[in-house]
Amino acid sequence: MSHPTPNVDVMSVAVQSTLDELGTPLRDVTFVVVDLETTGGSPADCGITEIGAVKIRGGAVLGEFQTLVNPGVSIAPFIALLTGITDAMLVEAPPLRSALPAFLEFAHGCVLVAHNAPFDIGFLRAGCESLDIPWPTFSVLDTARIARATLPRDEVANCKLATLAAHFHATTSPTHRALDDARATVDVLHALLERLGRLGVQSLEELSGVTRRVSSAQRNKRHLADNLPDSPGVYLFRDHSGRVLYVGKSRRVRSRVRSYFTASETRRRMTEMIAITDRVDAIACSSDLEACVRELRLIVEHRPAYNRRSKNPERVVWLKLTTDAFPRLSLVRGCRDDSDRGAAYLGPFNSRSSAELATEALLQAIPLRTCTTRISPRSPQGSACALADMGRCGAPCTGQQSTDDYAVLADLARHAITVDPRPVVEAVQQRLTQLVADERFEDAAVWRDRLSSFIRGAARFQRLASLRSLDQIVAAAPTDDRGWQIHIIRNARLVAAGTAARGADPHSLIEALLLTADQPAMPPDDGAAVEEAEMLLRWLEAPGTRLVHLSGDWCSPALGAGGLVQQVVVTPTRDPEQMLGRPTTGWSTVSRPIATYRSNA
């Protein structure tokens, strides 16, 4: 039998409390961090096999407790494998009637702490009931709940003890033995207290409130929304130094901001953000679309720590057909207007892997070179690669393929990307047919994904290019109160917005907006601009939107990829017919209309 280690006394130091520490200061609280090993997951039919605990105060270890417990039943093999505790080890261990009172004496007057506390405390309470021992009135803290309320989701994959111990570099690793796990939990608790201390959590009462749905500190900041407009707009949470913590949008800014200080806000990272918020600013907008665009631009500008989307527009990639003498496919971060020199683009793609899938689909149909070496048409050099031996490349590097012959392939690739993707679709379909016939369904699924990525990338670029080619769009949409929302778009950027009230002449507002609208120097080429352009397209395609004025021709290729997006199977399947998708014959040659055009507002 293992015995409790004696308590280690520490000298108590009298410290003058500040007004910020009303309650029980955490440095004066004695915690007992406990962990149990059991024969199963339910205290109703399972028993305790080991108790481990560590007593701490003010960051110092005061004592440890560890004992095996004879549960009176045999341990299941998988439990023995998990914990390393066997029936033989428990033969001479004390029964629960001896071990549990010893632990309760060790933990008397302390605050119990456990990771996933309902499990451990549930077994301890059940043990007290079985022995007719009154359960002491312990305060209980759960480090798992504290971690979920404190750590952003993008900081740790989960809040398991092993994950948190590794994340905080605990001195003891969890081993599914009670004392080791309790020691690891101590390190996790100290790391969480350090994190919360920077947020102003100094007392036991404040620490207990961290896991509640609404803390008093959260409710007390509702006044930050009092002077905000209750109309469409964008709001910015800022800390005491003015740094932007979070950007959001709403049709009713004041009501939305107030909800952050109520029980309706359940996101853990928002609780942490609110704790360090000093003020909330608002920018009034004339329409929901303007609010969406302003929110996106502010997120890209400030990159707030508590926003998740749109902060890294540079991560998107395009697939480019280069302008070399022997063009090749290259992954690039920006899309520029160099089509006059023979460049063509596919995308953008949200990840490099998606772009690589599209590359494989295109190369299946058109044997472009894959090497990155710059090839001179006048002095070819080098030796042919393996792809040339396989018939997948004409080996222009060795002079076996002339610039004129290679130009034919480049033109086919350019046409497939910008106008008609059917040659690529037909080539991949043939490959799919053979793979399905050979019952190589996993390989067929890979080629299906490659085709899907190519079609989606081509459709996305063709759709965006049609909007970016227009110098100016003036469009209007009806409001709920029978007024008009007016938006002016230039080069796929929102440059002016306004709302004409019911009964007012919208043309007067349009004239005023045209006089004050910005003029973008050139079409943007980053991921944020793409996201903004897609917002504008969704609004332009919405029912009721009317075109007032259009400068240029707004059109998409009749045989473009837009009509094929819904016809390419993108969900996993082992059905041969679904794997192949619809046959290439019979596809519509006219893509879906971009919008319902009306001549006036």
Query: Long-range contacts for 181-184 (Cβ within 8 Å, ≥24 apart)?
Result: 181/35, 181/52, 181/115, 182/33, 182/34, 182/35, 182/52, 182/53, 182/54, 182/64, 183/54
3-state secondary structure 324-356: CCCCCEEEECCCCCCHHHCCEEEEEECCHHHHH
Answer for the pair 553, 466: CB distance below 8 angstroms, yes or no.
no
Phi, psi for 314 (deg, rounded to 5) = -75, -10
Identity (one letter) of the amino acid at 560?
G
Q: Which tokens in the block code for residue 31?
A: 């915690």
Find out whether 85 and 68 touch, Cβ atoms under 8 Å: yes
Alpha carbon of residue 391 to chain centroid: 42
213 to 149, 266, 342, 563: CA distances (angstroms):
9, 7, 59, 48
According to DSSP H, which parts of 131-177 are helical?
143-150, 161-167
CB 3 within 8 A of CB 98: no
User: For the residues of 257-292, what is the DSSP string, one character each?
Assistant: HHHTTSTT---HHHHHHHHT--EEEEEE-SSHHHHH
Assign 235 to helix, strand or coil.
strand
Joined together, the tokens standing for residue 213 give 């749905």
**Both tokens assigned to 349:** 């793609």
Nearest-angstrom CA–CA distance, 18 and 578: 70
Active site residue 487: no
Q: 169: left (phi > 0), else alpha (psi -120 to 50), else beta?
A: left
Catalytic residue among 167, 176, 190, 302: 176
Q: Are 207 and 231 in contact (CB under 8 A)?
A: no
Q: How far is Cα 253 from Cα 80, in angstroms, rounded to an integer? A: 57
- Angle at the Cα of 280 from the Cα atoms of 275 and 281, rounded to 5 degrees: 160
Residue 452 tokens, joined = 């899907």
- Asked whether the CA dihedral 196, 197, 200, 203 is positive or negative, the reply is positive
Could you give the 3-state DSSP secondary structure of residue 253? Answer: helix
What is the spatial distance between Cα 222 and Cα 261, in angstroms, rounded to a whole number? 6
Q: Which residues are catalytic?
A: 176
